[in-house]
Every structure is written in structure tokens, then in C-alpha cells.
Amino acid sequence: MIACIRHTGIVVKDLENSLDFWTEVLEFKLVKKMIEHGPKIDAMMGLKDVKVTTAKLSDKNGNMIELLKFHSHPSKKRWEGTAYSIGITHLALTVSSLDEILNKCSEKGIFLENKPITSADNKVKVVYLECIEGLLLEIVQEL
């Protein structure tokens, strides 16, 4: 029944900073940015008076991320879950060069708390990275 996963939505506090991270560090391309409000978005979300800026981003394979900046419904300052919290905990991205991504992160002031490791089966090099607004990314390079 499922044709594909359409996109992953990520609510952000600072849309411009998030766009910079996703486009400059991870090399996603901005496909569409718009402000959504009105009865249709209210009905879809089951909320009243929604006003949200959405930015759809795509990688070179067509995988989509949607960043959402709510103007009408404030949230906590950052995600407070952990790698073992119930629910969605992280997003895993396969990259061609883990070192290149980590260098770009360092240039943006995003530093690792742990070091990349090689998996037990020696098939990937991987690291968990807490990036902007507390989002956990698993960055994976196939070996």
C-alpha cells in the first residue's frame, strides 16, 4: 500500500539557521518555502488559527525534509528527548564522506560529544550528532 515515505517534518525555532544547516552542511536543496494558514491547515492539524512557515528540502535522491516554523503555537525551546525515548528519536542519513560532514559541522560551531566508530560488522562508519535545536542525527558512511 505504501508507495514511499513522502517527507519527514521537523519543527524548528530558528528557520533561517535550520535552513543554513540543512543546505550548507548536508547539501539539501530548498524546493519550496511558504506561509500556511487558514481553514484547511487548521482542519488538517486539528488546531485553530495555525500560522506556520514551511520549507521543503530535497537531497539529490529526492528524499524530502520539511522544516516547520510555527508562529501561532509556541513550543519548548528544544527537543528534550534522548536516543532511548519513546517515539521518533533520530534521523539517519547515509553520506559519501563522514569526515566532510563533520568538518562542515565544526565550521558552523557544531561539535561532537562522541567520536565516529566503525560498526561491529565493519560495514559502516557512524556517529550520533546533536545538531541544531537538539535534533539527533545518525550520520553513516558505508565502507
Nearest to 102 by CA among 63, 70, 130, 66: 130
- Residue 47 has a pLDDT of 92
Give the CATH number, domain containing residue 28: 3.10.180.10
- Is 130 found in the same domain as 97? yes
Give the 3-state secondary structure of residue 104: helix
> Is the pTM for the entire model greater than 0.85?
yes
Q: Which domain holds residue 16?
A: 8-70
* 65 within a domain of the structure (yes/no): yes
- Residue 36 has a pLDDT of 96
Mean pLDDT to the nearest integer, 103-123: 91
Alpha helices in 24-78 (DSSP H): 39-45
Nearest to 129 by CA among 143, 110, 142: 110
- Residue 85 has a pLDDT of 80
Number of domains in the chain: 2
Alpha carbon 51 to chain centroid, angstroms:
21
Angle at 81 (CA atoms; ends 141, 83), nearest 5 degrees: 35
Sign, CA dihedral 25-105-10-114, equals positive
The tens digit of pLDDT for each residue in 16-68 reads 999 999 999 999 999 999 999 999 999 999 999 999 999 999 999 999 999 99
